[in-house]
Amino acid sequence: MLAHLASPRTGGLLALAAVIALLPLVLRNSYFYDVAVLVGLNAIVCIGLNLLIGYAGQISLGHAGFFGLGAYGSAILASRYGWPPLAALLATTFAVALLAFIVGRPILRLRGHYLAMATLGLGVIIFMVISTEDKFTGGPDGISVVPFRIGGFVLQGERIWYWVVGALLLVAVWLALNLIESPTGRALRALHSSEVGAEVVGINAAEHKLMVFVISAVFASVAGSLGAHYSGFVTPAKVAFLHSIELVTMVVFGGLASTFGAVVGAAVLTTLPQLLATFEDYEMMVFGAVMIGTMIFLPRGVVPSLARLFRSHRSADADNKANKA
Amino acid sequence: MSLLRVEGLGKKFGGVNAVEDLSFEIPPGEVYSIIGPNGAGKTSLLNLLTGVYKPSSGRIMLQEHDLTGHPPYAYARQGIARTFQNLQVFFNMSALENVMVGRYMHERCGLMSALLRLPRQARADRACREEAAELMRYVGLQAYLSSAADAMPYGALKRLEIARALATRPKLMLLDEPAAGLNPTEALELDDLIGRLTERGVTVVLVEHNMRLVMGVSDHILVLDYGRKLAEGPAQEVRNNPKVIEAYLGSAVSSETSYREEIAQVVAVAVEMHR
Ligand SMILES: Nc1ncnc2c1ncn2[C@@H]1O[C@H](COP(=O)(O)OP(=O)(O)O)[C@@H](O)[C@H]1O
Ligand SMILES: [Mg+2]
């Protein structure tokens, strides 16, 4: 039983739940809550993106596009057409999933740099459409978004959003952990390492890549929809290439193929620019430096490196005990 | 009735005929060996027989199924499994998970079941883990049950690929140079393992340079040279075929000597262990 609680899966989920529950003790004002909500939303995107990049080994430099489509889809349906926000969110998510399914099929045949360029292109196209179709999207000025409401209950204020996003983050982590431990998740990790090795045991690699691409797009889209309602405003900045790069940097920094790494990466790299607010113009430089630094000093990312360190300490301890006995 | 039938199979790479106009049949329950010098087209043939390469001509039939032109996973689903000459181990996973991936076709589940980890899914996963562990013991990898794949020695990785292939529950198993890179003791253990595979009802195709192993376990032998069939038949016949002796087994004497050396080494190891 105790071993079960200490497993990376259950233990990690409990630890994350504890952090979310206790964090308000140090969140002194609504600005802190605001940063925490942004962390949570980015973390949800990164968990999905990490399934694609970290586990299945397929790069995407266009995920801000799916985030943006989620945000604008919800904004347009709920604010312009008066749809109930939940219905707008669900319809948008479905549409984004469908789009990812359709464009993913040809794109995911590509590998490495070619896949990177194709996803980058996809992100750029989405950005262009959103910033030029100003009749619907408000163009470069953006568009304001009604608050999220379910029935008579209106989600408003950083504190309420904190708990909602915190709960959804836990759900996202739980779903990702479940997937990774399933036959499907093992198939994804296998094809990352050897596509031919995976295919000859009966795995349809193309189908699996497409599936995880759609899942990661859905995570991004849902976070985008929620973010739009939360901040009450969306601009094309959230759809831009730069944002895609930020997301990938978070995943790489936190640790590829580590779900908790994706959360840590999102937390650190969402908070850091806030602390360095005076350096706003240099934000991209900071991200670039973090990317280079991670690649050089922590090629596995923060969380896997720490986990490895911890494990080797423990086994060293065990060795010491064994030697003494 | 043969298990696998190949008719007029060919594979061209630019001007090179890696495999040319090849026809043969593999009877069920046998060990069917494919030998030939380096570059003869043995690996290309296995790639064709698992859908990794698409043939330029010819047909591949497994029992009544025409698999020509199908993707690799379709071959796997019809019961063909393989190992690789250049290892294709999943180095990002544990040894046990590698074998669990081999169970994919029998474990595969809906996306919802995977995402929500329904109790049924959790149970199936535990069963899968146990079966994979059982297979690792079966191929002699009990020492590596909790190892990461990237921490295992070469000889163990070759067995790991066999366990992964077995996990697919194949009718036909293709082994590409399983003895290459093994020490003599490990190579001797392979005879026993291949014997047990056929007892399990698995038909084995063995591509191998180790003549001691080939002559010891084969029922039929196919000799390839420049992608073409040089000879084929029951092991004894092929062994005494003058064409084969000339073209390929010219080194038979030296392989006899190395066999004696191997035995000497194995005896030495056994004596050592007995002490
Ligand atoms: N993917 C490939 N592309 C080009 N040539 C290949 C490819 N695979 C095999 N060949 C060629 O086919 C011939 C047979 O190679 P191979 O099947 O590896 O032989 P073997 O396994 O008997 O040593 C060689 O000339 C090799 O260069
Ligand atoms: Mg070969």
Secondary structure of chain A in HEC code, one letter for each residue: CHHHHHCHHHHHHHHHHHHHHHHHHCCCCHHHHHHHHHHHHHHHHHHHHHHHHHHCCCCCCCHHHHHHHHHHHHHHHHHHCCCCHHHHHHHHHHHHHHHHHHHHHHHCCCCHHHHHHHHHHHHHHHHHHHHHCHHHHCHHHCEECCCEEECCEEECCHHHHHHHHHHHHHHHHHHHHHHHHCHHHHHHHHHHHCHHHHHCCCCCHHHHHHHHHHHHHHHHHHHHHHHHHHHCEECHHHHCHHHHHHHHHHHHHHCCCCHHHHHHHHHHHHHHHHHCHHHHHHHHHHHHHHHHHHHHHCCCCHHHHHHHHHHHHHHHHHHHHHHHC
Residues of B in contact with A182 (CB under 8 A): 109, 113-115, 117, 121, 125
What's the residue count for chain A? 325
* Structural tokens at position B37: 């010098």
Q: Which of residues 33-72 of B touch A (CB under 8 A)?
A: 50-52, 71-72
Q: Does residue A11 lie within any of the structural domains?
A: no
Best mutation site among B73, B91, B116, B129 for testing chain A: the one with the most A CBs within 10 Å?
A: B73
Residue A276 has what pLDDT? 74
CA of B17 to the centre of ligand 2 (A): 15
Tokens 């998510």 appear where? A93
Per-residue pLDDT tens digits of chain A, which is 325 residues long? 455 666 778 899 999 999 999 999 999 899 999 999 999 999 999 999 999 999 999 999 999 999 999 999 999 999 999 999 999 999 999 999 999 999 999 999 999 899 999 999 999 999 999 999 988 898 888 999 999 998 888 898 999 999 999 999 999 999 999 999 999 999 999 999 999 999 999 999 999 999 999 999 999 999 999 999 999 999 999 899 999 999 999 999 999 989 999 999 999 999 988 877 666 677 777 778 887 888 788 878 888 888 777 777 666 555 555 444 4
What is the CATH topology of the domain spanning B1-79+170-275? Rossmann fold (3.40.50)
CA of A170 to the centre of ligand 1 (A): 50
Q: Which residue has the higher pLDDT, B163 or A256?
A: B163
pLDDT above 70 covers a percentage of chain B that reads: 89
SS3 call for B135: helix
Residue B266 has what pLDDT? 54
- Among B187, B252, B250, which residue's Cα sits nearest to residue B213? B187
- Among B125, B184, B10, which residue's Cα sits nearest to residue A9? B125
- Shortest Cα distance from B237 to chain A (angstroms)? 33
- Among B169, B170, B97, which residue's Cα sits nearest to residue A182? B97
In this complex, which of B75, B97, B121 lies closest to A186 when CB atoms are compared?
B97
Q: Which residue has the higher pLDDT, B90 or B256?
A: B90
Q: Does residue A19 lie within any of the structural domains?
A: no
Nearest CA to ligand 1 atom 16: B41
What single DSSP character describes residue B200?
T
* Structural tokens at position A267: 């937390």
CA of A251 to the centre of ligand 1 (A): 39
What single DSSP character describes residue B269?
H
Nearest-ligand number for the alpha carbon of B41: 1
- Among A301, A311, A299, which residue's Cα sits nearest to residue A269? A301
In this complex, which of A182, A190, A198 lies closest to B109 when CB atoms are compared?
A182
pLDDT over 60 (residue B255)? no
Residue A42 has what pLDDT? 97
Which residue in A has a C-alpha nearest to residue B120's C-alpha?
A182
Nearest CA to ligand 1 atom 24: B39
Which residue in B has a C-alpha nearest to residue A177's C-alpha?
B115
Residues of A in contact with B115 (CB under 8 A): 175, 178-179, 182
Tokens 């909790």 appear where? B146
What's the residue count for chain B? 275
Residue A324 has what pLDDT? 46
What is the spatial distance between Cα B177 and Cα B37, in angstroms, rounded to a whole number? 12
**In contact, B205 and B46? CB cutoff 8 Å:** yes
pLDDT over 90 (residue B267)? no
Residues of A in contact with B89 (CB under 8 A): 193-194, 197
Q: How many CB atoms lie within 10 A of CB A217?
A: 30
* Structural tokens at position A73: 């889809």
Tokens 């001007």 appear where? B15
Across the interface, do B125 and A193 touch by the CB < 8 Å criterion?
A: no
**In contact, B153 and B117? CB cutoff 8 Å:** no
Burial B16-53 (b: 16+ CB within 10 A, else e): ebbbbebebebeeebbbbbbbeeebbbbbbbbbbbbbb
Residues of the domain holding A304: 30-324
Task: Give the model's confidence band at B273: pLDDT under 50 very low, under 70 low, under 90 confident, else very high.
Answer: low
| Residue range B177-181: mean pLDDT, rounded | 93
Choose one of B9, B11, B12, B16 to mutate for the ligand 1 pocket test, by most ligand atoms within 8 angstroms of C-beta.
Answer: B16
What is the spatial distance between Cα A197 and Cα B88, in angstroms, rounded to a whole number? 5
* Structural tokens at position A125: 């196209």
What is the spatial distance between Cα B242 and Cα B221, in angstroms, rounded to a whole number? 15
Residue A6 has what pLDDT? 61
Residue A227 has what pLDDT? 97
Q: What is the dihedral of CA A73, A75, A78, A80, to 10 degrees?
A: -100
Across the interface, do A186 and B104 touch by the CB < 8 Å criterion?
A: yes
Q: How far apart are the first and last CA of chain A?
A: 27
Which range (A45-54, A308-317, B99-108, B155-164) has the least confidence? Answer: A308-317
Q: Does residue A8 lie within any of the structural domains?
A: no
CATH number at residue A198: 1.10.3470
Domain extent listing, chain B: 1-79+170-275, 90-169
Tokens 């146990």 appear where? B130
Residue B253 has what pLDDT? 45
Q: Does residue A2 lie within any of the structural domains?
A: no
SS3 call for B85: coil
Beta-bridge partners for B11: B19
SS3 call for B196: helix
What is the spatial distance between Cα B211 and Cα B232, in angstroms, rounded to a whole number? 16
Q: Indicate whether this complex's ipTM tops 0.90.
A: no
Task: Give the model's confidence band at B252: pLDDT under 50 very low, under 70 low, under 90 confident, else very high.
Answer: very low
The total number of structural domains in chain A stands at 1
Burial of B248 (0-12, 13-18, 19+ CB in 10 A): buried
Q: Does residue A150 lie within any of the structural domains?
A: yes
- Among B178, B194, B187, B155, which residue's Cα sits nearest to residue B261? B187
Residue B167 has what pLDDT? 97
In this complex, which of B72, B114, B167 lies closest to A179 when CB atoms are compared?
B114
Cβ neighbours for A25, distance < 8 A, ≥ 6 positions apart = none
What is the spatial distance between Cα A119 and Cα A59, in angstroms, rounded to a whole number? 8
Nearest-ligand number for the alpha carbon of B85: 2
Nearest CA to ligand 1 atom 1: B13
Nearest-ligand number for the alpha carbon of B42: 1
**In contact, A189 and A257? CB cutoff 8 Å:** yes
Across the interface, do A202 and B125 touch by the CB < 8 Å criterion?
A: no
Tokens 């999943």 appear where? B90
Which residue in B has a C-alpha nearest to residue A257's C-alpha?
B92
